[in-house]
Chain A
């Protein structure tokens, strides 16, 4: 069965600090997709990144970077030089490839507070 664990319920940092959000997943499939979403106070989930199971290259996008390690079933997310606008709930999600439709499984989320 699919499962996504985000062990950090809440994290508080001071602006300009680096912060890493952890994500551990479970799946029996060899083909799957991992995602990170941001949910600001307004409520809309904002897509950040997608990674497929065959691509273990780390990715950097501005202040955001992602570290995918299949050996430890982890897909961690780092924000460098955090800003107050980064304050939100961040969700890691897993989708397994299916012939008929997809079933996203979200983790419980990590609430990040960036203090000025």
Chain B
């Protein structure tokens, strides 16, 4: 039973570039959420996708956008990268979007901005 998988594992970009991170949910899950975790801090909620729609969004600018595909996998896109975007980006999946079921997390993508 595959868990949540994220790619790539590590990524290095420069300021102003754009990046796309990918996530495949745990088998049987239909909801994907994305988080940004800066070093030494707790994860910060970016947004959640369910039925290919953005259902909830945290306090992140429009430079952060996403997409969910019919197979429930998801992408996180970040435009005009800033140094402050350097962080671990975590994807979490769950069954249903109402907060009843716990989220299962992937290993994350470590994004470094030079």
Contacts and interface: CB of A to CB of B under 8 A. Distances in A.
A33 B100 contact: yes
Interface stretch (A12-20, A63-71, A80-88, A99-107): A99-107
A105 B45 contact: yes
Interface size, A (range): 20 to 34
Interface in A62-98: 91, 95-98
B105 interface: yes
B33 A47 contact: no
Interface stretch (B15-23, B50-58, B72-80): B50-58
Interface residues of B, number: 28
Given A43-B88, A50-B102, A107-B42, A102 B107 contact: no
Interface in A28-76: 32-33, 35, 37, 42-47, 50, 52
A108 B98 contact: no
A45 B43 contact: yes
A82 to B, nearest CB: 22
A95 B88 contact: no
| SS of A interface (majority) | strand
A50 B108 CA distance: 22
Contacts of A99: 98
A45 B105 contact: yes
Contacts of A44: 105-108
Nearest to A100: B55
A101 B45 contact: no
9 contacts: A4-B42, A46-B105, A50-B102, A96-B99, A104-B33, A104-B35, A106-B45, A107-B42, A109-B41
